[in-house]
Amino acid sequence: MSATADQGRETQRTHTDVLPAGLADAVRATAEEIAELLRGAPDMGASVPGSEWTLGEVAAHLAQANELMAQVAAGLSRRHGDGTPQSIAAANEQALAAFGERAAHPLAAMIETQADAYVDAVARRPVGETLMTPMGPMDRAVLGSYLLTHMLGHGYDIARALRRPHGVTPARVTLTLPFMIEAMPRVTDAAATTGLNARYAVRLWGGGGFGVTFTDGAATVSQDHPDRPDCTLSIEPVTFLLMALGRCSPVGAMARGRVFAWGRKPWTGPRFPQYFKAP
């Protein structure tokens, strides 16, 4: 096949050839829903539950993050911390301080525009290219899962601040799993897992899940469940994501019947989220 034909095939490729089914639509729809929430916000200076940021600051952070991920997807190099939760948090604060926009409508437009830019970039770039993201090397599909996860977490915060329904759904949570599996070893809290040797199987209601094996405190995460897990966790999907992002307590989730644990060491189930520290 000629080089010209190869180029033609490349330009005809769309995001559906690269991304898991439904991911592009979820990214765009989540951005649109967040933008709609912001456009109806009466006060962008309002506080956000569980956060030190105001509503305007959360929206500004989302707009900046969407832009960063769209640029990374387009093949640009963007440094943002060194991959550790602490450095990413510090980089977030520095970037936010240097970005003065806090008005609802410009930020809403930027969040939507940059989500679209990520999806468009996916269709124009090589499929298997490895990209350097704030959370380490990823391909464009995992980066999209990262983008969705990030928007769902902060979109949930915005919805709570405005007392409106949030956009975290079981279907969208399933699309966050590629990023979760990739990122969990990188956000393992070494202080919490020192000397830990344990095997966990995590099963989401309705399908999906992964396995985590700790060996002397280091985590290995796989799409497959480990043999003879010490603890199996069965979790309602929305609850899983909110726990993973630090938005709800595992003990409270278990008390509400949203998480069940069994196996040889079921009492270790409530400890599992504490082994990781989200940025």
Domains of the chain: 3-169 (1.20.120.450), 188-275 (3.30.1050.10)
Report residue 13's pLDDT band, with 50, 70 and 90 as the boundaries: low
**Sequence-ordered strand ranges (E) for 61-194:** 131-133, 136-138
pTM over 0.85: yes
The residue type of 172 is R
CA distance 224 to 226: 6
- Whole-angstrom distance, CA of residue 110 vs CA of residue 217: 41
Q: Determine how many CB atoms are found less than 10 A away from the CB of residue 3.
A: 7
Q: Quick: pLDDT tens for 184-212.
A: 999 999 999 999 999 999 999 999 999 99
Q: pLDDT class for 3, splitting at 50, 70, 90?
A: very low
pLDDT at 15: 60
Q: How many angstroms separate the CA atoms of 275 and 56, rounded?
A: 31
Query: CB-based burial of residue 205 (10 Å sphere; 0-12 exposed, 13-18 middle, 19+ buried)?
Result: middle
Strands (E) located in 23-150: 131-133, 136-138
Torsion (CA) 104, 105, 106, 111 in degrees, nearest 10:
80
Give residue-wise pLDDT tens across range 235-270: 999 999 999 999 998 889 999 999 999 999 999 999
Query: Chain-centre distance of CA 218, in angstroms?
Result: 21
Ramachandran angles phi, psi of 22, nearest 5° = 90, -15
